[in-house]
Amino acid sequence: MDTQRQTLPTNTDSETAILELARREPELGQAAVSRRLAEQGLRISASGVRYIWQKHDLETAVKRLQALASESADGVAALTRNQRKLLERQSVNARLRRPRGSRGKQDGAALDRSAIIVDAAAELFSSQGYDGTSIRDIAARVGLLPGSIYHHFPSKEEIYVAVHREGFRHVLERIRAASAGITDPWERLRRACEIHVREMVQGSAVDRITGTSLALVGHESVLARVQVFRNDYEQVFRELVNELPLRPGADRSLLRLFLLGGLNWVHLWYRAGKRTPEQIAAAMVDMLRTGVEA
């Protein structure tokens, strides 16, 4: 332990040399950097190199290559051919080892490349909008070259459609699983509303954009393709509302649209730490069921 502490870089010359090598030869590992610096008369252990890398958020080859690309106006194109291949390979491999998280398959199964692209695109569509997001943006987010994106999706529109296909599929699965075995129609509706709200405000980027961005795209051809998935989703709520014991003459279609409209606006006013998705769903369904008049 004492030996390691003594070999940690403690002066700006050592740190500058490590950072310079990170820019000049980002592919080098910490042991190789330690040896290279030793040739320059700087005695720094491999663990010391890693300490400096971590300090500057450069501890992986992917991060060092991304940092190098971000310094150039050309982005990833500024890297050498071998560096671009390394960045693409290691970026994807790292994501393939990462659990799917809130939208994941069981047992933390790895993402395939198409799912990685869909996840990254959903994040960008949410933050930048459809028109403000380019294939180059999506490629940079996942550490791929733009040409590699086209290998999986022929256009940005296809990616956008895939985002919604996956989002609606996931939330439908959750709603059906949550309502299975429940006989009370009001409780089934409450469970569906709870999942809708939770996925919109706490789910992955794919889940969030599914419930919020349909009307914001402004492209009729894209809207028409996404509407197919939304129709399937609304059919579930149509069935839930049709099973409710309502007074004669109640407009079930208007009730369904009223409820879905309210649910979809939650993302605008939701604040974590106040009402939970469970509380929001329960309150909305209760107001539908019993009214609010004193």
**pLDDT tens sequence across 163-211:** 999 989 888 888 988 888 899 999 999 999 999 999 888 888 888 877 6
Split into its structural domains, the chain has a count of: 3
Per the model's pLDDT, the better-predicted residue between 248 and 110 turns out to be 248
C-alpha closest to that of 212 among 130, 95, 106, 117: 130
69: which 2 tokens?
Answer: 């690309």
Please indicate, yes or no, whether residues 144 and 246 belong to a single structural domain of this protein: no
Please indicate, yes or no, whether residues 190 and 261 belong to a single structural domain of this protein: yes
Is residue 64 one of the residues assigned to a domain? no
Which one of 154, 184, 205 terminates a domain? 154
Which one of 154, 180, 203 terminates a domain? 154
pLDDT value at 1 more than 50: no
Query: What pLDDT does residue 24 have?
Result: 85
Span 11-55, pLDDT tens digits: 667 888 888 888 888 888 888 888 888 888 888 888 888 888 988
Range 284-288, long-range pairs (CB < 8 A, 24+ positions): 284/193, 284/259, 285/186, 285/189, 285/190, 285/193, 288/255, 288/259
pLDDT value at 260 more than 80: yes
Please indicate, yes or no, whether residues 280 and 168 belong to a single structural domain of this protein: yes
Residue 148 burial class via C-beta count within 10 angstroms: exposed 0-12, middle 13-18, buried 19 and up = middle
The pLDDT confidence band at residue 103, using thresholds 50, 70 and 90, is very low
The pLDDT confidence band at residue 252, using thresholds 50, 70 and 90, is very high
- Distance between CA 77 and CA 69 in Å, rounded? 8
285: which 2 tokens?
Answer: 């369904």
Global pTM value: 0.61
Please indicate, yes or no, whether residues 137 and 169 belong to a single structural domain of this protein: no
Span 277-292, pLDDT tens digits: 999 999 999 999 998 8
C-alpha closest to that of 247 among 294, 288, 194: 288
Interval 137-161 mean pLDDT: 88
Is residue 211 one of the residues assigned to a domain? yes
DSSP string, 186-239: HHHHHHHHHHHHHHHHHS-HHHHHHHHSGGGS--HHHHHHHHHHHHHHHHHHHH
106: which 2 tokens?
Answer: 């069981």
Q: Crossing angle of helices 220-242/156-179, nearest 10°?
A: 10
Interval 239-246 mean pLDDT: 95
C-alpha closest to that of 66 among 90, 48, 42: 90
Q: Which CATH number goes with the domain that contains 100? A: 1.10.10.60
Match 């022929």 to its residue by tokens.
154
Element (H, E) at 159: helix 156-179
User: What is the residue range of 250's domain?
Assistant: 156-290
Is residue 219 one of the residues assigned to a domain? yes
Please indicate, yes or no, whether residues 52 and 146 belong to a single structural domain of this protein: no
The pLDDT confidence band at residue 114, using thresholds 50, 70 and 90, is confident
DSSP string, 55-106: HTT--SHHHHHHHHHHTSTTGGGGS-HHHHHHHHHHHHHHHHTS--GGGPPG
By percentage, how much of the chain surpasses pLDDT 70? 85
Question: Per mean pLDDT, which range of 94-98, 255-259, 265-269 is the poorest?
Answer: 94-98
Please indicate, yes or no, whether residues 160 and 149 belong to a single structural domain of this protein: no
Please indicate, yes or no, whether residues 114 and 85 belong to a single structural domain of this protein: yes
